[in-house]
Structure 1
Protein backbone atom coordinates (compact mmCIF):
# COMPACT_ATOMS: atom_id res chain seq x y z
CA UNK A 1 0.00 0.00 0.00
CA UNK A 2 1.55 3.35 -1.01
CA UNK A 3 2.34 5.77 1.80
CA UNK A 4 0.45 9.05 2.17
CA UNK A 5 3.30 11.09 0.61
CA UNK A 6 3.37 8.68 -2.35
CA UNK A 7 -0.41 8.97 -2.79
CA UNK A 8 -0.17 12.77 -2.74
CA UNK A 9 2.69 12.55 -5.23
CA UNK A 10 0.58 10.44 -7.61
CA UNK A 11 -2.44 12.75 -7.20
CA UNK A 12 -0.33 15.74 -8.19
CA UNK A 13 0.76 14.09 -11.42
CA UNK A 14 -2.73 12.86 -12.21
CA UNK A 15 -3.94 16.46 -11.99
CA UNK A 16 -1.26 17.53 -14.48
CA UNK A 17 -2.76 15.23 -17.08
CA UNK A 18 -5.81 17.52 -17.17
CA UNK A 19 -3.60 19.95 -19.07
CA UNK A 20 -2.98 19.71 -22.79
CA UNK A 21 -0.14 17.33 -23.75
CA UNK A 22 2.05 20.35 -24.49
CA UNK A 23 1.17 22.00 -21.18
CA UNK A 24 1.74 18.78 -19.25
CA UNK A 25 5.11 18.29 -20.94
CA UNK A 26 6.19 21.84 -20.08
CA UNK A 27 5.32 21.43 -16.40
CA UNK A 28 7.06 18.05 -16.23
CA UNK A 29 10.23 19.48 -17.78
CA UNK A 30 10.30 22.30 -15.24
CA UNK A 31 9.53 19.94 -12.36
CA UNK A 32 12.30 17.48 -13.21
CA UNK A 33 14.82 20.24 -13.88
CA UNK A 34 13.95 21.55 -10.41
CA UNK A 35 14.32 18.07 -8.84
CA UNK A 36 17.73 17.73 -10.45
CA UNK A 37 18.97 20.99 -8.95
CA UNK A 38 20.96 18.60 -6.73
CA UNK A 39 22.79 15.55 -8.14
CA UNK A 40 21.03 12.18 -8.08
CA UNK A 41 17.90 13.31 -6.18
CA UNK A 42 16.46 9.76 -6.05
CA UNK A 43 19.81 8.16 -5.08
CA UNK A 44 19.70 5.93 -8.16
CA UNK A 45 23.43 5.27 -7.98
CA UNK A 46 23.52 4.26 -4.31
CA UNK A 47 20.07 3.09 -3.14
CA UNK A 48 19.87 -0.67 -2.50
CA UNK A 49 16.37 -0.87 -3.99
CA UNK A 50 17.49 0.76 -7.24
CA UNK A 51 20.58 -1.41 -7.54
CA UNK A 52 18.58 -4.58 -6.90
CA UNK A 53 16.02 -3.49 -9.50
CA UNK A 54 18.73 -2.87 -12.12
CA UNK A 55 20.37 -6.26 -11.53
CA UNK A 56 17.02 -8.05 -11.64
CA UNK A 57 15.97 -6.26 -14.82
CA UNK A 58 19.13 -7.28 -16.68
CA UNK A 59 18.80 -10.85 -15.40
CA UNK A 60 15.32 -11.28 -16.87
CA UNK A 61 16.08 -9.98 -20.37
CA UNK A 62 15.60 -12.52 -23.16
CA UNK A 63 19.03 -13.78 -24.15
CA UNK A 64 19.68 -12.45 -27.64
CA UNK A 65 21.85 -9.81 -29.28
CA UNK A 66 20.52 -6.25 -29.12
CA UNK A 67 21.73 -3.73 -31.68
CA UNK A 68 19.71 -0.64 -30.74
CA UNK A 69 18.50 0.08 -27.19
CA UNK A 70 16.45 2.97 -25.83
CA UNK A 71 15.86 3.87 -22.19
CA UNK A 72 12.83 6.09 -21.63
CA UNK A 73 13.16 8.22 -18.50
CA UNK A 74 16.91 7.70 -18.16
CA UNK A 75 17.43 10.50 -15.58
CA UNK A 76 21.18 10.86 -14.89
CA UNK A 77 22.15 7.73 -16.80
CA UNK A 78 22.81 5.26 -13.97
CA UNK A 79 21.00 2.36 -15.66
CA UNK A 80 22.17 3.57 -19.08
CA UNK A 81 25.71 3.06 -17.86
CA UNK A 82 24.85 -0.50 -16.80
CA UNK A 83 23.34 -1.16 -20.23
CA UNK A 84 26.46 0.16 -21.94
CA UNK A 85 28.58 -2.28 -19.92
CA UNK A 86 26.21 -5.23 -20.47
CA UNK A 87 25.86 -4.64 -24.23
CA UNK A 88 29.17 -3.18 -25.44
CA UNK A 89 28.28 -3.59 -29.12
CA UNK A 90 24.86 -1.89 -28.94
CA UNK A 91 23.88 1.64 -29.87
CA UNK A 92 22.09 3.10 -26.84
CA UNK A 93 19.83 6.15 -26.57
CA UNK A 94 18.78 7.65 -23.23
CA UNK A 95 15.69 9.88 -23.25
CA UNK A 96 14.54 12.25 -20.53
CA UNK A 97 12.57 15.49 -20.25
CA UNK A 98 15.16 17.15 -17.99
CA UNK A 99 18.17 18.71 -19.69
CA UNK A 100 19.80 19.14 -16.28
CA UNK A 101 19.58 15.38 -15.69
CA UNK A 102 20.94 14.69 -19.17
CA UNK A 103 23.96 16.91 -18.60
CA UNK A 104 24.94 14.63 -15.70
CA UNK A 105 24.13 11.53 -17.74
CA UNK A 106 26.53 12.66 -20.47
CA UNK A 107 29.23 13.16 -17.83
CA UNK A 108 28.56 9.72 -16.30
CA UNK A 109 28.56 7.56 -19.44
CA UNK A 110 31.74 7.57 -21.55
CA UNK A 111 31.18 9.21 -24.93
CA UNK A 112 32.45 6.48 -27.25
CA UNK A 113 30.14 7.35 -30.12
CA UNK A 114 27.56 4.66 -29.44
CA UNK A 115 25.74 6.14 -26.42
CA UNK A 116 23.82 9.38 -26.72
CA UNK A 117 21.22 11.27 -24.74
CA UNK A 118 18.35 13.37 -26.05
CA UNK A 119 15.77 15.56 -24.34
CA UNK A 120 12.33 14.42 -25.43
CA UNK A 121 8.81 13.72 -24.18
CA UNK A 122 7.58 10.15 -24.60
CA UNK A 123 4.13 11.46 -25.53
CA UNK A 124 5.47 13.23 -28.62
CA UNK A 125 8.88 11.68 -29.40
CA UNK A 126 9.35 10.28 -32.91
CA UNK A 127 12.67 8.47 -33.24
CA UNK A 128 14.61 8.51 -36.49
CA UNK A 129 15.05 4.74 -36.29
CA UNK A 130 13.39 1.91 -34.38
CA UNK A 131 14.85 -0.17 -31.56
CA UNK A 132 15.02 -3.86 -30.75
CA UNK A 133 15.06 -3.25 -26.98
CA UNK A 134 13.26 -0.54 -24.99
CA UNK A 135 13.07 0.16 -21.25
CA UNK A 136 10.48 2.12 -19.32
CA UNK A 137 11.12 2.07 -15.57
CA UNK A 138 9.16 4.04 -12.93
CA UNK A 139 7.99 6.53 -15.55
CA UNK A 140 4.38 5.82 -16.51
CA UNK A 141 2.83 6.97 -13.22
CA UNK A 142 4.08 10.51 -13.93
CA UNK A 143 1.77 10.71 -16.94
CA UNK A 144 -1.44 10.58 -14.92
CA UNK A 145 -4.80 9.60 -16.31
CA UNK A 146 -6.27 7.05 -18.68
CA UNK A 147 -5.85 8.81 -22.02
CA UNK A 148 -2.23 9.84 -21.40
CA UNK A 149 -1.30 6.33 -20.27
CA UNK A 150 -2.95 4.88 -23.36
CA UNK A 151 -1.06 7.36 -25.54
CA UNK A 152 2.28 6.66 -23.82
CA UNK A 153 1.80 2.91 -24.18
CA UNK A 154 1.12 3.29 -27.89
CA UNK A 155 4.25 5.42 -28.20
CA UNK A 156 6.37 2.81 -26.41
CA UNK A 157 5.02 0.11 -28.69
CA UNK A 158 5.84 2.25 -31.72
CA UNK A 159 9.51 2.48 -30.71
CA UNK A 160 10.12 -1.20 -31.49
CA UNK A 161 11.30 -3.14 -34.49
CA UNK A 162 9.46 -6.36 -35.42
CA UNK A 163 10.36 -8.93 -32.74
CA UNK A 164 11.51 -6.10 -30.47
CA UNK A 165 11.46 -6.36 -26.68
CA UNK A 166 9.91 -3.87 -24.25
CA UNK A 167 10.71 -4.02 -20.54
CA UNK A 168 8.42 -2.17 -18.10
CA UNK A 169 9.35 -1.88 -14.42
CA UNK A 170 7.07 -0.23 -11.87
CA UNK A 171 6.09 -0.52 -8.19
CA UNK A 172 3.84 -3.43 -7.25
CA UNK A 173 0.84 -3.63 -7.17
CA UNK A 174 0.53 -0.33 -9.10
CA UNK A 175 2.26 -2.08 -12.01
CA UNK A 176 -0.94 -4.10 -12.56
CA UNK A 177 -2.80 -0.95 -13.60
CA UNK A 178 0.07 0.73 -15.45
CA UNK A 179 1.15 -2.34 -17.41
CA UNK A 180 -2.48 -3.02 -18.26
CA UNK A 181 -2.21 -0.23 -20.82
CA UNK A 182 0.70 -2.04 -22.44
CA UNK A 183 -1.31 -5.29 -22.40
CA UNK A 184 -3.97 -3.42 -24.37
CA UNK A 185 -1.61 -2.69 -27.25
CA UNK A 186 -2.35 -5.14 -30.05
CA UNK A 187 1.24 -4.83 -31.27
CA UNK A 188 2.59 -6.17 -27.96
CA UNK A 189 2.50 -9.65 -26.48
CA UNK A 190 3.33 -10.18 -22.81
CA UNK A 191 6.12 -12.74 -22.47
CA UNK A 192 6.65 -12.88 -18.72
CA UNK A 193 6.29 -10.98 -15.47
CA UNK A 194 8.38 -11.30 -12.35
CA UNK A 195 7.11 -9.70 -9.14
CA UNK A 196 9.56 -9.00 -6.31
CA UNK A 197 7.35 -8.80 -3.23
CA UNK A 198 10.01 -8.89 -0.52
CA UNK A 199 11.45 -5.71 0.94
CA UNK A 200 9.76 -2.40 1.69
CA UNK A 201 9.27 -1.47 -2.00
CA UNK A 202 7.88 -4.35 -4.10
CA UNK A 203 8.19 -4.02 -7.87
CA UNK A 204 7.27 -5.89 -11.05
CA UNK A 205 9.33 -6.49 -14.19
CA UNK A 206 7.09 -7.18 -17.20
CA UNK A 207 8.54 -8.15 -20.58
CA UNK A 208 6.77 -7.78 -23.92
CA UNK A 209 7.60 -8.64 -27.51
CA UNK A 210 6.13 -7.13 -30.65
CA UNK A 211 3.67 -9.33 -32.47
CA UNK A 212 4.36 -10.05 -36.11
CA UNK A 213 1.94 -8.31 -38.45
CA UNK A 214 0.38 -6.09 -35.78
CA UNK A 215 0.77 -2.35 -35.50
CA UNK A 216 0.66 0.09 -32.55
CA UNK A 217 -2.54 1.85 -33.66
CA UNK A 218 -4.51 -1.41 -33.34
CA UNK A 219 -4.89 -0.98 -29.59
CA UNK A 220 -7.62 -2.37 -27.34
CA UNK A 221 -8.44 -0.11 -24.43
CA UNK A 222 -8.25 -1.75 -21.00
CA UNK A 223 -11.52 -2.22 -19.09
Structure 2
Protein backbone atom coordinates (compact mmCIF):
# COMPACT_ATOMS: atom_id res chain seq x y z
CA UNK A 1 0.00 0.00 0.00
CA UNK A 2 1.37 3.39 -0.98
CA UNK A 3 1.76 5.62 2.09
CA UNK A 4 2.10 8.76 -0.09
CA UNK A 5 -1.60 8.85 -0.85
CA UNK A 6 -3.86 11.83 -0.30
CA UNK A 7 -5.16 12.60 3.15
CA UNK A 8 -8.22 10.93 4.64
CA UNK A 9 -11.38 12.58 3.30
CA UNK A 10 -12.58 15.07 5.95
CA UNK A 11 -16.03 15.15 7.53
CA UNK A 12 -16.84 18.27 5.50
CA UNK A 13 -16.54 16.25 2.28
CA UNK A 14 -19.48 14.09 3.37
CA UNK A 15 -21.46 17.06 4.70
CA UNK A 16 -21.22 18.60 1.22
CA UNK A 17 -22.18 15.33 -0.50
CA UNK A 18 -25.32 14.90 1.62
CA UNK A 19 -26.21 18.58 1.30
CA UNK A 20 -26.28 18.16 -2.47
CA UNK A 21 -28.21 14.86 -2.44
CA UNK A 22 -29.99 13.14 0.47
CA UNK A 23 -29.17 9.70 -0.97
CA UNK A 24 -26.02 10.32 -3.01
CA UNK A 25 -25.17 6.63 -3.53
CA UNK A 26 -28.81 5.50 -4.04
CA UNK A 27 -28.72 3.20 -1.01
CA UNK A 28 -32.51 3.39 -0.71
CA UNK A 29 -33.43 2.76 -4.33
CA UNK A 30 -30.67 0.90 -6.19
CA UNK A 31 -31.19 -2.78 -7.17
CA UNK A 32 -27.39 -3.08 -7.08
CA UNK A 33 -27.30 -1.96 -3.44
CA UNK A 34 -30.18 -4.32 -2.54
CA UNK A 35 -28.31 -7.25 -4.07
CA UNK A 36 -25.06 -6.26 -2.33
CA UNK A 37 -26.79 -5.99 1.06
CA UNK A 38 -28.41 -9.41 0.59
CA UNK A 39 -25.05 -10.94 -0.37
CA UNK A 40 -23.38 -9.27 2.60
CA UNK A 41 -25.91 -10.58 5.10
CA UNK A 42 -25.86 -14.05 3.55
CA UNK A 43 -22.07 -14.16 3.97
CA UNK A 44 -22.29 -13.78 7.76
CA UNK A 45 -21.70 -17.25 9.21
CA UNK A 46 -23.87 -16.84 12.32
CA UNK A 47 -27.59 -16.20 12.58
CA UNK A 48 -27.14 -13.95 15.64
CA UNK A 49 -24.51 -11.63 17.14
CA UNK A 50 -24.48 -10.25 20.68
CA UNK A 51 -22.69 -6.95 20.00
CA UNK A 52 -22.12 -5.60 16.51
CA UNK A 53 -20.46 -2.45 15.19
CA UNK A 54 -21.26 -0.91 11.79
CA UNK A 55 -18.79 1.71 10.57
CA UNK A 56 -20.23 4.30 8.18
CA UNK A 57 -23.92 3.46 8.43
CA UNK A 58 -25.06 6.39 6.25
CA UNK A 59 -28.87 6.34 5.90
CA UNK A 60 -29.22 3.13 7.89
CA UNK A 61 -30.49 0.91 5.06
CA UNK A 62 -28.08 -1.92 5.83
CA UNK A 63 -28.32 -1.12 9.55
CA UNK A 64 -32.03 -1.90 9.55
CA UNK A 65 -31.47 -5.27 7.89
CA UNK A 66 -28.48 -6.15 10.06
CA UNK A 67 -30.24 -5.23 13.31
CA UNK A 68 -32.59 -8.23 13.27
CA UNK A 69 -29.52 -10.46 13.75
CA UNK A 70 -28.02 -8.42 16.60
CA UNK A 71 -28.81 -8.12 20.31
CA UNK A 72 -27.07 -4.72 20.21
CA UNK A 73 -25.83 -2.81 17.16
CA UNK A 74 -23.74 0.36 17.37
CA UNK A 75 -23.92 2.19 14.04
CA UNK A 76 -21.76 5.26 13.42
CA UNK A 77 -21.23 7.82 10.71
CA UNK A 78 -19.07 10.90 10.37
CA UNK A 79 -21.92 13.04 8.94
CA UNK A 80 -24.95 14.30 10.87
CA UNK A 81 -27.47 14.45 7.99
CA UNK A 82 -27.56 10.73 7.14
CA UNK A 83 -27.55 9.81 10.84
CA UNK A 84 -30.76 11.77 11.31
CA UNK A 85 -32.47 9.71 8.60
CA UNK A 86 -30.93 6.49 9.92
CA UNK A 87 -32.33 7.17 13.40
CA UNK A 88 -35.79 7.72 11.91
CA UNK A 89 -35.55 4.56 9.80
CA UNK A 90 -34.54 2.40 12.76
CA UNK A 91 -36.59 4.09 15.48
CA UNK A 92 -38.63 0.90 15.96
CA UNK A 93 -35.47 -1.15 16.65
CA UNK A 94 -34.47 -0.66 20.31
CA UNK A 95 -31.26 -2.68 19.91
CA UNK A 96 -29.75 -0.08 17.54
CA UNK A 97 -27.64 2.77 18.89
CA UNK A 98 -26.40 5.57 16.61
CA UNK A 99 -23.42 7.84 17.24
CA UNK A 100 -21.65 10.48 15.19
CA UNK A 101 -18.01 9.44 15.29
CA UNK A 102 -14.86 9.81 13.19
CA UNK A 103 -12.38 6.93 13.14
CA UNK A 104 -9.53 6.57 13.96
CA UNK A 105 -9.50 9.71 16.14
CA UNK A 106 -12.56 8.50 18.07
CA UNK A 107 -13.32 4.89 18.88
CA UNK A 108 -15.88 3.01 21.00
CA UNK A 109 -14.62 1.25 24.13
CA UNK A 110 -16.91 -1.77 23.73
CA UNK A 111 -15.78 -5.19 22.49
CA UNK A 112 -17.70 -6.69 19.56
CA UNK A 113 -18.35 -10.10 18.05
CA UNK A 114 -19.15 -8.56 14.64
CA UNK A 115 -17.73 -5.52 12.88
CA UNK A 116 -19.08 -4.41 9.50
CA UNK A 117 -16.83 -2.19 7.38
CA UNK A 118 -18.79 -1.63 4.18
CA UNK A 119 -17.90 1.04 1.61
CA UNK A 120 -15.80 3.06 4.07
CA UNK A 121 -12.17 1.92 4.07
CA UNK A 122 -11.14 3.69 0.87
CA UNK A 123 -11.95 7.09 2.42
CA UNK A 124 -8.92 6.79 4.73
CA UNK A 125 -5.31 7.49 3.90
CA UNK A 126 -2.96 4.52 4.14
CA UNK A 127 -1.71 5.48 7.64
CA UNK A 128 -5.25 6.10 8.92
CA UNK A 129 -6.43 2.79 7.49
CA UNK A 130 -3.59 1.08 9.36
CA UNK A 131 -4.51 2.82 12.64
CA UNK A 132 -8.18 2.03 12.22
CA UNK A 133 -7.56 -1.59 11.26
CA UNK A 134 -5.45 -2.15 14.36
CA UNK A 135 -8.17 -0.77 16.64
CA UNK A 136 -10.96 -2.64 14.87
CA UNK A 137 -9.13 -5.95 15.15
CA UNK A 138 -8.27 -5.31 18.79
CA UNK A 139 -11.92 -4.62 19.60
CA UNK A 140 -13.07 -8.02 18.27
CA UNK A 141 -13.56 -10.71 20.90
CA UNK A 142 -11.99 -14.14 20.24
CA UNK A 143 -14.17 -15.76 17.59
CA UNK A 144 -15.42 -12.34 16.50
CA UNK A 145 -15.91 -11.68 12.81
CA UNK A 146 -15.12 -8.80 10.45
CA UNK A 147 -17.19 -8.27 7.30
CA UNK A 148 -15.45 -6.19 4.62
CA UNK A 149 -17.37 -5.01 1.52
CA UNK A 150 -15.99 -2.39 -0.89
CA UNK A 151 -16.44 -1.03 -4.41
CA UNK A 152 -13.34 -2.01 -6.37
CA UNK A 153 -13.08 0.38 -9.37
CA UNK A 154 -10.88 3.40 -8.55
CA UNK A 155 -12.58 6.70 -7.70
CA UNK A 156 -10.44 9.76 -8.41
CA UNK A 157 -10.98 11.55 -5.10
CA UNK A 158 -10.74 8.48 -2.82
CA UNK A 159 -7.32 7.92 -1.22
CA UNK A 160 -7.48 4.11 -1.64
CA UNK A 161 -9.23 1.49 -3.75
CA UNK A 162 -11.41 -1.27 -2.34
CA UNK A 163 -8.79 -3.84 -3.29
CA UNK A 164 -6.11 -1.94 -1.37
CA UNK A 165 -8.34 -1.95 1.72
CA UNK A 166 -9.06 -5.68 1.54
CA UNK A 167 -5.49 -6.60 0.67
CA UNK A 168 -4.27 -4.63 3.68
CA UNK A 169 -6.59 -6.45 6.07
CA UNK A 170 -5.78 -9.85 4.59
CA UNK A 171 -2.06 -9.17 4.77
CA UNK A 172 -1.97 -7.59 8.23
CA UNK A 173 -4.86 -9.27 10.09
CA UNK A 174 -2.86 -12.38 10.90
CA UNK A 175 0.10 -10.60 12.53
CA UNK A 176 -2.10 -7.92 14.16
CA UNK A 177 -4.87 -10.06 15.59
CA UNK A 178 -4.49 -13.69 14.51
CA UNK A 179 -7.33 -13.50 12.00
CA UNK A 180 -8.25 -16.12 9.41
CA UNK A 181 -10.30 -15.69 6.26
CA UNK A 182 -13.65 -17.52 6.30
CA UNK A 183 -15.10 -16.31 3.02
CA UNK A 184 -14.04 -14.32 -0.04
CA UNK A 185 -16.19 -13.21 -2.96
CA UNK A 186 -15.54 -10.94 -5.92
CA UNK A 187 -18.39 -9.32 -7.82
CA UNK A 188 -17.80 -7.38 -11.02
CA UNK A 189 -17.64 -4.10 -9.07
CA UNK A 190 -17.26 -5.00 -5.40
CA UNK A 191 -15.34 -7.34 -3.14
CA UNK A 192 -16.47 -9.12 0.02
CA UNK A 193 -14.35 -10.85 2.67
CA UNK A 194 -15.21 -12.31 6.08
CA UNK A 195 -12.42 -12.72 8.63
CA UNK A 196 -12.59 -14.37 12.06
CA UNK A 197 -10.38 -13.81 15.10
CA UNK A 198 -8.77 -17.01 16.32
Q: TM-score range by the shorter chain?
A: 0.7 to 0.9
Shift of 1:32: 1.0
Partners in 2 of 1:129 and 1:143 — Cα distance? 22
Partners in 1 of 2:117 and 2:94 — Cα distance? 23
CA contact (8 A) 1:122 1:155 kept: no
RMSD between superposed Cα atoms in Å: 1.7
Partners in 1 of 2:48 and 2:57 — Cα distance? 21
Larger Rg: 1
Tell me the residue number matched to 1:59.
42
Shift of 1:96: 0.7
Shift of 1:61: 0.8
Tell me the residue number matched to 2:166.
179
Deviations 1:39-91 (A, max 9, x none): 21211011111111100001111124311111101011110011123x1x521
**Unaligned stretches of 5+ residues in structure 2:** 154-160
**Residue 108 (1) aligns with residue 89 (2):** yes
Shift of 1:111: 4.3
CA contact (8 A) 1:33 1:101 kept: no
* TM-score for the superposition, normalised by structure 2: 0.84
Shift of 1:16: 2.4
Shift of 1:155: 2.2
**Residue 31 (1) aligns with residue 13 (2):** yes
**Unaligned stretches of 5+ residues in structure 1:** 1-13, 18-23, 212-223
- Could you say what secondary structure the match of 1:45 adopts? coil
| Higher RCO (CA-CA < 8 Å; seq separation 6+) | 2
* TM-score for the superposition, normalised by structure 1: 0.76
Partners in 2 of 1:49 and 1:55 — Cα distance? 10
CA contact (8 A) 2:43 2:183 kept: no
Which deviates more, 167-176 or 94-103?
167-176
Tell me the residue number matched to 1:16.
7
Partners in 1 of 2:121 and 2:109 — Cα distance? 23
- Could you say what secondary structure the match of 1:15 adopts? coil
CA contact (8 A) 2:101 2:107 kept: no
Partners in 1 of 2:16 and 2:89 — Cα distance? 20
Work out the number of aligned pairs and report it.
Answer: 182
